[in-house]
Structures are given as C-alpha cells and as structure tokens.
C-alpha cells in the first residue's frame, strides 16, 4: 500500500518542530478534514537556511511534511514557488489517490509561507 | 433562506456525498479565508471534497445544536465513516468522533467552512496500515 520512502518519512519524520522569530511561521488547515500544518522557515538571503514543521494530520500529511521540509533546505524562493503537488508526492515516495490532499495541504502551506516571508 | 438553513442544507449535501451538488452551495471564493492559501475556491474545494469522499466513501455528519449570529453559524455534532483501504470498507476501519463546524454564509451560499475535530481515531486507523 505504501512505498519504503513514504514509510521512512512517516516513521522517521525529518525537521519536526518550530523555529523562533525572526523565522516565519504559518499555519494552514484543511477545511474538509481538519488537518493542521505549521511550517516555519528562516531565510538566509534568498535561500532557506532552516525549516521545521508540525502537523496534526494523517500518515500522508506527516510523510509529505517531512519530504517537503527535507527538500526545502537551501532552495531559493523561486524554486520553492515552482514546487507542485505532483512533485511533492514523488518526493514523499508516492501517495495513494485517497491521500493526495496531504500534498495539496503542504503546497498551500508553502504558498502561505512565501507570501508571509 | 436564513444562514442556519443554508448550513443545514450544506450538511445534508455532505451526507449525500455528491461534490457537485455541494459545490452549488459554495460561493465562488469558497474556502476558509484565514486558513486556506490563495488556492482555495469553489473548484479546489469541490475537488477536496471529491478526494475526501474517495478516502472515506460513507462519510456522514450529524448535528445536535446549531447557533447563528448574523452570517456566522456554528454547528455541534458528530462525524464518522469508514476509511477505504484497497477499495474496501471494513468494520475495523470505521470511526466516529465529536465534531464542530464554523460557517460563514453570504447571500444564501457558504463562503467559509471549517471543521474542528479530534481526528486521532482516523490517524490511528491509517497508522495501523502503515505499520
């Protein structure tokens, strides 16, 4: 049902936590199921220096948040803005059709972070 | 139709699990203005409901109390369903939890919708299948 990469992100999530200001932190919620994602990032110039996340959500949200934050490190704002749900699904080792909302939640969180940073 | 009637009709359509009929009751900019990113709108939320009904094909809601103040409506009740695993609905994947909803109604349509629920029983079912 789940790939090894997905299970690794779910069981050993990377970058869990929250960064203190001046890092930017945003929170986003899925209005349908109630999953909540908090995403924090500190930029050094144009690039992500540190990133953390917390999620109250399903296995797919935990794995997707982990994959997202792992990928975000050292990326520029332009690179962050170009990330799409399908790309994140691949980074997380693939999501079953019923769990694709998790990648959408993460991308929405990233958009909100970029708008706030 | 007063706001609470709109919200009750919205809940009824959730229980019908028909995303298109549900979208008919949404404003074009439907979402959750303070919580969604800019991507939220009627079409993206129709797709979100469609995905959720695939995830939990027998999702249901029930309401015990409904409070309204102007265009703001709060509903208290319960939600439940069965998580689809490999296309099957098994009794061990059934869940039921207390739930509350906040809605903002505009001109007879739902502009904002947000569920508040402790989804841990749902997460536990999903985690069971990942272990």
Give Cα separations from A94 to A3, A85, A91, B48 (angstroms).
7, 11, 7, 18
Shortest CB distance from A28 goes to which of B37, B54, B117? B37
Query: Considering only CB atoms, which chain B residues are within 8 Å of A10?
Result: 127, 130
| Chain A contact for B55 (CB, 8 A cutoff) | yes
ipTM comes to: 0.74
pLDDT score recorded for residue A32:
84
pLDDT at A39: 97
pLDDT bracket for residue B33 (50, 70, 90): low
DSSP-assigned letter for residue A95:
-
pLDDT digits (tens, 9 = 90+) for A6-28: 999 999 999 999 999 999 999 99
**E strand segments, B38-106:** 60-69, 72-82, 94-106
Q: What pLDDT does residue B36 have?
A: 61
Res A74 pLDDT > 80: yes
| Res B39 pLDDT > 70 | no
Put simply, the answer to whether A34 touches B31 (Cβ < 8 Å) is no
User: Average pLDDT for residues B22-51, to the nearest whole number?
Assistant: 80
Q: Considering only CB atoms, which chain A residues are within 8 Å of B45?
A: 31-32
- At residue B35, the pLDDT reads 58
Q: Which helix (H) or strand (E) holds A86?
A: helix A85-91
Gap between the Cα atoms of B36 and A10, Å rounded: 24
| Contact with chain B for residue A84, Cβ under 8 A | no
Cross-chain residue pair A101–B32, CB shorter than 8 Å: no
CB B22 within 8 A of CB B14: yes
Q: Are A38 and A54 in contact (CB under 8 A)?
A: yes
- The per-residue pLDDT for B48 is 85
Confidence of residue B87 (pLDDT cuts 50, 70, 90): confident
User: What secondary structure letter does DSSP report for A12?
Assistant: S
**A59, A83, A80: which is closest to A10 by C-alpha?**
A59
**In a 3-state reduction of DSSP, which class is residue A30?**
coil
pLDDT tens profile A84-105: 999 999 999 999 877 888 898 9
């Amino acid at each position: 049902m789940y790939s090894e990469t997905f299970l690794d992100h779910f069981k050993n999530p990377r970058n869990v936590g929250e960064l203190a200001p001046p890092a930017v932190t945003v929170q986003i919620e899925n209005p349908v199921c109630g999953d909540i994602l908090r995403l924090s990032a500190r930029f050094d110039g144009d690039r992500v220096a540190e990133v953390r996340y917390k999620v109250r959500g399903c296995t797919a949200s935990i794995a997707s948040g982990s994959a997202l934050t792992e990928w975000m490190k050292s990326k520029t704002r332009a690179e962050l803005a170009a990330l799409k749900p399908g790309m994140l699904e691949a980074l997380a080792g693939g999501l079953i059709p019923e769990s694709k909302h998790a990648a959408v939640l993460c991308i929405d969180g990233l958009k909100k972070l970029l708008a706030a940073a | 139709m007063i706001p609470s009637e709109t919200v009750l009709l919205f809940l009824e359509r959730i229980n019908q699990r028909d995303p298109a009929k549900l979208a008919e009751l949404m404003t074009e900019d439907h979402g959750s203005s303070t919580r969604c990113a800019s991507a939220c709108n009627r079409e993206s939320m129709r797709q979100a409901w469609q995905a959720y009904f695939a995830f939990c094909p027998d999702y249901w809601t029930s309401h015990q109390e409904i409070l309204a103040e102007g265009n703001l409506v709060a509903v208290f009740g319960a939600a439940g369903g069965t998580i689809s695993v490999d296309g099957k609905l098994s009794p061990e994947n059934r869940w039921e939890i207390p739930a509350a909803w906040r809605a903002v109604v505009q001109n007879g349509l739902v502009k904002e919708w947000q569920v508040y629920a402790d989804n841990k029983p749902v997460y536990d079912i999903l985690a069971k299948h990942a272990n």
